Amino acid sequence: MNEETTTVIIQRYLDALPGDTAAEPVIRELLERAAGRLRLLCGTLLYKSYPRLTRPPANLETDELLDGVVAGLLTALRKTRPPTVRRFFALANQHMRWQLNDLAQRLDERPAAAALAESGVAAWPTSASGLSPDARRILEVIEGLPEDEREVFELVGIQGLTHAEAATVVGVSQKTVQRRLNEARLLLAERLADLRPPTPPGDTPLT
């Protein structure tokens, strides 16, 4: 099923959501229809931005993340009614980030293992999540971007959607996606300027 058809079907289910408990069957059908795209987004975000969580001790897999996201959406959609496909996937992205950040934080807070390996040598303690302080700051700055720019940056820059796919999800033209992506990158470059490596003396422009 292509992206355009999926978007149309998801929008129909969103439009059909009643405002009472009778919505449960519709919500479940909506999530079943959206499962393919949700799985793609979960896998892209997990392996591109949180690769350490795919290795021991977490060993997180795409389907495990997807199961958690679907469970979270099932609960959230009982209380909220996203009016558009864009808002639906924004809600899904939020649940993905919550789950991944929570797991990364819990792993980082675990005390270093004291058990010895089979060889009798203590294992070298490492960061379980693989997120350095700089990486955490970058994520916080991304979270602080204006909503439109953050949404496009996450879809294209983090989750790996094409400009055309992001435009379909957001409901704007590809030119608007490109403009918002450029603005997001400029803001990130400005707010994270201190993380840039120092310019070699030979490259310093003359005044």
Q: Is residue 207 part of a domain?
A: no
Q: Is residue 125 part of a domain?
A: no
| Residue 71: predicted pLDDT | 93
Q: Is residue 200 part of a domain?
A: no
Of residues 17 and 200, more confidently modeled: 17
Q: Is residue 95 part of a domain?
A: yes
Rounded to two decimals, what is the model's pTM? 0.67
Which range marks the domain in which residue 54 is found?
A: 3-109+130-195
pLDDT digits (tens, 9 = 90+) for 31-50: 999 998 899 889 888 888 88
Other Cβ atoms closer than 10 A to 64: 14
CATH code of the domain containing 58: 1.10.10.10
Number of domains comprising the chain: 1
Q: Is residue 114 part of a domain?
A: no
Burial class (CB in 10 A: 0-12, 13-18, 19+), 136: middle
Q: Is residue 84 part of a domain?
A: yes
Q: Is residue 146 part of a domain?
A: yes
pLDDT digits (tens, 9 = 90+) for 55-80: 888 899 999 999 999 999 999 998 89
State in Å, rounded, how far the first CA of the chain is from the last one.
58
Q: Is residue 141 part of a domain?
A: yes
| Paired tokens of 100 | 């991944």
pLDDT digits (tens, 9 = 90+) for 87-146: 898 899 889 988 988 888 887 776 443 333 333 333 333 444 455 677 778 878 888 899
Alpha-carbon gap, residue 141 to 114, rounded angstroms: 35
Of residues 202 and 183, more confidently modeled: 183
| Residue 197: predicted pLDDT | 64
Alpha-carbon gap, residue 176 to 201, rounded angstroms: 39
Any idea how long the chain is? 207
